[in-house]
Amino acid sequence: MTAIDGATRHRAREAALQMLYQWEVGRASAHEAIVTYWPSRAADEDEPEDKDEDIPEAARDFANALVRTTIERVAEADEIIAAHARNWRVERMAVIDRLVLRLAIAELLSDPEIPGRVVINEALELARTFSGEEPVPFINGILDAVLKTLKRE
């Protein structure tokens, strides 16, 4: 895969989270979420705020792989979340918070090349962008505990 800079990876993670939201709320399959997401972004290319049309193919591949990996490992991620979220059932968490956690855990489990702290920081930025400041300490606490459990740096 072509090297992708940090800002582009962040935009790819944002795209992955949006596709996962479509999968979770819209009940789309992983394939449907992926194939409908990118054309819908290109349709909005007249929008000056739209940053997705300039995401290179390698970053799109990264986002698509994150979506597939997260969906494939959702049961495993949910077990991990449940083990670390005291007094919280996974299905009762806010959708975005749950998806941010699943995405980060799937990335921690599947890509040991990316430092754990980077994955956590990216997850916290996604939470801030899509959910607000309130869930950030909760998500940080769970992901810190997961990182320790996985014995990752």
Question: What pLDDT, in 10s, does the model give residues 34-87?
Answer: 998 988 776 555 454 444 457 899 999 999 999 999 999 999 999 999 999 888
What pLDDT is recorded for position 127?
97
Question: What pLDDT, in 10s, does the model give residues 117-139?
Answer: 999 999 999 999 999 999 999 99
What pLDDT is recorded for position 51?
47
Pairwise CA distance, residues 112 & 49, whole Å: 33
Q: Is the pLDDT reported for residue 18 higher than 50?
A: yes
CATH class, range 73-153? mainly alpha
What pLDDT is recorded for position 64?
96
The CA-based angle 118-48-4, given to 5 degrees, is: 30
Pairwise CA distance, residues 52 & 15, whole Å: 8
What pLDDT is recorded for position 5?
85
For the beta carbon of residue 92, count every other beta carbon within 10 angstroms.
Answer: 8
Domain residue spans of the chain? 1-67, 73-153
What pLDDT is recorded for position 122?
97
What pLDDT is recorded for position 67?
97
What pLDDT is recorded for position 100?
98
pTM: 0.88
Q: Which tokens in the block code for residue 27? A: 């009940």
When mean pLDDT is compared across 2-11, 60-69, 88-97, the lowest value belongs to 2-11
CA nearest to 33, candidates 44, 20, 42: 20
